[in-house]
Chains A and B, each alone.
Chain A
Amino acid sequence: MARSHGDYTTDLPLEDLMNKQAWIAFRFDDDDLAPEHGGPARLLVPHLYLWKSAKWVRGITLMHEDQPGFWESLGYHNYGDPWREQRYQEE
C-alpha cells in the first residue's frame, strides 16, 4: 500500500513495483519535483492507470494480504491495467 500525505492510499502487488517497472520520482528537469506534480516525492507506475501513481507519497507498507486503497474501495478496479480497460470494478 502506497500511502500519501492527506490520507490517500493505493494498493499494488509488490511484483508491479519491482524490476524497474516503477519509480519514486523526486526530481524533474534538474529541479526538485514541484508540489503540483506530486513533489517532494511521488510514485510513478506507468503500466497501470494514473491513480496508482500516488502523488505526495510518504511511505509504502508491505502487507501479507491485499487491502483496497482510497479509490479501490469506492468502485475503482483493484489492479488497474489500462490495456485490459480495468478502470472500474467489474460491473
Chain B
Amino acid sequence: MWRVGTVVALHDETSSARTITLEVPDWPGHVAGQHVDVRLTASDGYSAVRSYSIASAPNPEKRVEITVERLPDGEVSPYLTQELAVGDRLELRGPIGGWFVWRTEQTEAIQLIAGGSGMVPLMAMIRSRAASGSTVPFRLLYSVREPGAILFRDELEKRSNQDRAVMLAYAYTRVAPKDWPRPPGRIDAALIAEATWPSKLGPTCYVCGPTPFVEIAAGFLSACGNRSDKIKTERFGPTGAKK
C-alpha cells in the first residue's frame, strides 16, 4: 500500500511552491490528474497524511513529481518545501483517483480551469498531451492572486506561445500586471464566457482549486451550457482539524 520514494530533485516554482521529484522503484505508472497521499511519521510515532496532485506526465522512468504549496500554518507543507532534501525518502500511497483524469485516448476538446495550486493536476494533463503527441485542442484559464504566484510560468509560456499546445488566459484576483486589460478581481460570468471553449463544442471541463473557486467556476460553466457530466471538479483545501 505505501511505497517509498527517494527525492532526486527539488525545484522552486515560486517563493512559496516547490516541486519535488521522487524516484519510486515500484511505481505502477499513473494517469494525468491522479494524486498521491504522502505520509510523514515523527519519531514519537505521530503521523500526518496529505494529498498532493502529481504534476508530471506519465513516463516510463519511475519518477513522480509533486508540486507543494507552503501553507502559512501548515503542519506538513513547511517541511516539504523548506527542509526535505535530495536523498531523503518519503512514504507515498497511490496513484489515486480515476474520475478527475485526462487520458490520451480522449478526443474531445478540453477546457482547464485552475485556481491557485489547482494548476498542478492540470499541468500533468498538459504535459501528458505533449508527451503523447495528442493534437486535441486544450484551453486553460488560470486564476491567480498575482503574477508571482503563477506556477510553471515559463513552461506555460513556451507551451502556449511556441508549441501552440494550449490556449492560455490568466485572471488575476489581487494584483494584475501593469496595463492588464482587466482590473484584478474574482472570475465572473463574462470572463468564463469569453475565455473558455463554447459549450456547443462539447468540451470536457476540468476545474481544480479551493472549494469556493471550484463552485463558482463550475456554476458559470454550467450557466454557459456545459452539461454537468462534462464538468469534472477537484477541490483543494486544508485537512487539518478546525477547532
- Taking beta carbons and an 8 Å cutoff, which residues of A are in contact with B? 36-37, 50
Shortest A16–chain B CB gap in Å is 20
Q: Which residue of chain A is the closest to B243 with respect to CB atoms?
A: A50
For residues 223 through 243 of chain B, which have their beta carbon under 8 Å from a beta carbon of chain A? 241-243
**Complex Cα spacing A77 to B241, Å:** 19
Q: Which residue of chain A is the closest to B242 with respect to CB atoms?
A: A36
Q: Give the interface SS of chain A, mostly helix, strand, loop or mixed.
A: helix
Q: Give the interface SS of chain B, mostly helix, strand, loop or mixed.
A: loop
5 A–B pairs (Cβ distance < 8 Å), ordered by A = A36-B242, A37-B242, A37-B243, A50-B241, A50-B243
**Complex Cα spacing A24 to B109, Å:** 54
Interface size on B, residues (CB 8 A): 3
What A residues does B241 contact at CB under 8 A?
Answer: 50
**Complex Cα spacing A36 to B242, Å:** 8
What B residues does A50 contact at CB under 8 A?
Answer: 241, 243
**Complex Cα spacing A50 to B242, Å:** 11
Which 5 A-B pairs give the minimum distances between C-beta atoms? A36-B242, A50-B243, A37-B243, A37-B242, A50-B241
Q: Which residue of chain B is the closest to A50 with respect to CB atoms?
A: B243
Shortest A87–chain B CB gap in Å is 13
Shortest A88–chain B CB gap in Å is 16
Shortest B85–chain A CB gap in Å is 35
What B residues does A36 contact at CB under 8 A?
Answer: 242
For residues 146 through 205 of chain B, which have their beta carbon under 8 Å from a beta carbon of chain A? none
Shortest A36–chain B CB gap in Å is 6
Q: Which residue of chain A is the closest to B241 with respect to CB atoms?
A: A50
Shortest B44–chain A CB gap in Å is 15
Shortest A15–chain B CB gap in Å is 25
**Complex Cα spacing A37 to B242, Å:** 8
Shortest A26–chain B CB gap in Å is 17
Shortest B174–chain A CB gap in Å is 22
What B residues does A37 contact at CB under 8 A?
Answer: 242-243
**Complex Cα spacing A50 to B241, Å:** 11
**Complex Cα spacing A27 to B162, Å:** 57
Shortest B219–chain A CB gap in Å is 21
Shortest B73–chain A CB gap in Å is 14
What A residues does B243 contact at CB under 8 A?
Answer: 37, 50
Shortest A60–chain B CB gap in Å is 21
**Complex Cα spacing A9 to B241, Å:** 18
For residues 67 through 111 of chain B, which have their beta carbon under 8 Å from a beta carbon of chain A? none
Shortest B240–chain A CB gap in Å is 13
**Complex Cα spacing A11 to B242, Å:** 21
Shortest A38–chain B CB gap in Å is 9
Shortest B139–chain A CB gap in Å is 35
**Complex Cα spacing A37 to B241, Å:** 11
Shortest A28–chain B CB gap in Å is 12
Shortest B103–chain A CB gap in Å is 36
**Complex Cα spacing A50 to B243, Å:** 8
Shortest A56–chain B CB gap in Å is 13
Shortest B38–chain A CB gap in Å is 25
**Complex Cα spacing A36 to B237, Å:** 14
Shortest A25–chain B CB gap in Å is 12
